[in-house]
Amino acid sequence: MVIMGIFSSMKETLVQFRKELHTYPELSGEEHTTAERIITFVNDFDPTHIIRNIGGAGVAVIYEFGERGPKVVIRCELDALPIGEENNFAHQSKNKGVSHKCGHDGHMAIVAGLSMWLNTSEFKKGKVILLFQPAEETGKGAAKVMEDDRFVHLAPTHVFALHNLPGQKKHAILVKPGCFTATVQSLCIKLEGRKAHASEPENGLNPALAVAEIMQQLANYVNPDFQSTEFALLTPICMHMGEMTYGISPEQAELHYTIRTWSLAQMNTLENKIKKAVIAVAEKYLLKYDIDWFEFFPTSVNSTDCVELIEKVANEKGFELVENHAPLRFGEDFGWYSSTYKSAIFGLGSGEHHPALHRSDYDFPDEIIETGLAMFKGLITEILGN
- Do 165 and 34 lie in one domain? The reply is yes
Q: Please give the pLDDT value at position 350.
A: 98
Q: Please give the pLDDT value at position 81.
A: 98
Range of the domain at 292: 183-296
Q: Which of 296, 314, 341 is the last residue of a domain?
A: 296
Average pLDDT for 203-221: 98
| pLDDT band (50, 70, 90) for residue 113 | very high
How far apart CA 349 and CA 280 sit, in angstroms, is: 45
Whether residue 170 contacts residue 351, with contact meaning beta carbons closer than 8 Å, is answered with: yes
- Do 160 and 234 lie in one domain? The reply is no
Burial classification of residue 142, based on how many CB atoms lie within 10 Å of its CB (0-12 exposed, 13-18 middle, 19 or more buried):
buried
**202 within domain boundaries:** yes
Predicted TM-score (pTM) of the model is 0.93
Q: Please give the pLDDT value at position 67.
A: 78
Average pLDDT for 55-63: 98
What is the tens place of the pLDDT at every residue in 9-44? 789 999 999 999 999 999 999 999 999 999 999 999
Q: Please give the pLDDT value at position 10.
A: 87
- Do 175 and 205 lie in one domain? The reply is no
**190 within domain boundaries:** yes
**Which one-letter DSSP state was computed for residue 203?**
G
pLDDT at 111 over 90: yes
Q: Which of 275, 296, 317 is the last residue of a domain?
A: 296
Q: Please give the pLDDT value at position 214.
A: 98
Q: Please give the pLDDT value at position 66.
A: 84
What is the tens place of the pLDDT at every residue in 160-204? 999 999 999 999 999 999 999 999 999 999 999 999 999 999 999
Look up the CATH number of the domain holding residue 117. 3.40.630.10
| Number of domains, the chain | 2
pLDDT at 90 over 80: yes
Nearest to 111 by CA among 21, 2, 4, 177: 21
In sequence order, the 6+-apart residues with CB closer than 8 A to the CB of 299 are 179, 180, 181, 182, 183, 262, 263, 264, 327, 335, 338
- Do 164 and 278 lie in one domain? The reply is no
- Do 275 and 363 lie in one domain? The reply is no
Q: Which of 296, 326, 346 is the last residue of a domain?
A: 296
Nearest to 207 by CA among 154, 316, 286, 136: 286
How far apart CA 371 and CA 386 sit, in angstroms, is: 20
Q: Please give the pLDDT value at position 386.
A: 62
Q: DSSP for 85-111?
A: ----STT--SSTT-B--SSHHHHHHHH
- Do 176 and 317 lie in one domain? The reply is yes
Look up the CATH number of the domain holding residue 230. 3.30.70.360
pLDDT at 7 over 60: no
- Do 29 and 121 lie in one domain? The reply is yes
Burial classification of residue 103, based on how many CB atoms lie within 10 Å of its CB (0-12 exposed, 13-18 middle, 19 or more buried):
buried
Q: Please give the pLDDT value at position 366.
A: 98
Nearest to 115 by CA among 82, 76, 142, 152: 76
- Do 204 and 315 lie in one domain? The reply is no
How far apart CA 132 and CA 264 sit, in angstroms, is: 26
**265 within domain boundaries:** yes
% pLDDT > 90, the chain: 95
- Do 241 and 309 lie in one domain? The reply is no
- Do 262 and 309 lie in one domain? The reply is no
- Do 143 and 270 lie in one domain? The reply is no
Segments in 285-317 forming alpha helices (H): 304-317
- Among 77-81, 135-139, 224-228, 343-347, the range scoring the smallest mean pLDDT is 224-228
**139 within domain boundaries:** yes
| pLDDT band (50, 70, 90) for residue 4 | very low
**134 within domain boundaries:** yes
**3 within domain boundaries:** no
Average pLDDT for the chain: 96
**221 within domain boundaries:** yes
- Work out the number of other CB atoms within 10 angstroms of the CB of residue 91: 19
Average pLDDT for 203-222: 98
Q: Please give the pLDDT value at position 8.
A: 65
pLDDT at 333 over 50: yes
**2 within domain boundaries:** no
- Do 320 and 171 lie in one domain? The reply is yes
